[in-house]
Amino acid sequence: MTEELARCVGVSRTYGSGPTAVVALHTVDCVLHPASRVALMGRSGSGKSTLLHLLAGLDEPTTGVVRRPGRGEIGVVFQGPSLLAPLDVAENVALPLLLAGGRPADAAERAAGALSRAGVADLAGKLPEELSGGQAQRVAVARVLAGTPRLILADEPTGQLDAEHRDAVVTLLLEAAAELRAGLLIATHDARVADRLPQRWVMDDGRLREVGQA
Ligand code: ADP
Ligand code: MG
């Protein structure tokens, strides 16, 4: 049987309560395997980030369950700014490895390798406030590449990139997923990103439709 990395069973997520409650997800069922290569599409506000955060274990469903039987590391590229302001780029990328108990020299070496793969080695000594939005996105991708995730969840990782860097980031995520034998899900509303992935899930007002092959 194929290993499951994450499974949503009847998952709903409502923000707030009473008359102002927002139902961001309606009874979603889905599963991710190591071979999954999913483009999570849908217009802004359709629930992509909500689903991604639930799959990552960063949020709890209002009803239903999210199972992560694989217990492997999950690498998340966040949609918004996620680098810690007082740390330089190399320190930001090394931090998760240090928090996981890695030796400082190893963490620094892996961080340098990941920054170089992501084409941003020259930014190593910069502070987050000195980066453009696109540079910060590529550093956030490098931070995931420095680890050994079994599941990579990337939330609009190319939203602020030009065509060349957009294609490079998608290639990098696909290569990393292949090397690590990790599942990959990329939330995007860019059809040019989705076209690079074999599976397509479409969120529509909190409901998920799997449309299979692109
Ligand atoms: P997407 O990533 O597809 O743009 P989101 O998952 O961010 O969609 O949002 C889905 C819906 O939930 C939207 O209506 C959004 O306004 C709402 N929402 C998201 N996060 C919150 C929150 N923390 N509090 C209240 N409403 C939220
Ligand atoms: Mg979003």
**Pocket, ligand 1, Cβ cutoff 6 A:** 15-16, 22, 24, 42, 44-50
Residue 214, pLDDT score: 46
Q: Ligand 2 centre and the CA of 89: distance in Å? A: 24
Domain ranges across the chain: 36-60+69-213
* Pairing outcome for strands 6-15 and 22-32: antiparallel
Residue 67, pLDDT score: 96
Q: What is the pLDDT of residues 112-139, one digit of tens each?
A: 999 999 999 999 999 999 999 999 999 9
Averages of pLDDT over each 10 residues, the chain, 214 residues: 91 95 96 97 96 97 94 91 96 96 97 97 98 94 96 95 93 95 96 96 95 60
The architecture of the domain spanning 36-60+69-213 is 3-Layer(aba) Sandwich (3.40)
For 159-165, the CB contacts below 8 A with 24+ separation are 159/79, 159/188, 159/190, 160/132, 160/133, 160/134, 160/136, 161/134, 161/137, 162/134, 163/192, 165/119, 165/134, 165/138
**What does the chain come to in residues?**
214
Residue 125, pLDDT score: 98
Residue 28, pLDDT score: 97
Across the chain, what does the average pLDDT equal? 95
Ligand 1 atom closest to residue 187's alpha carbon, by position in its atom list: 2
Residue 212, pLDDT score: 63
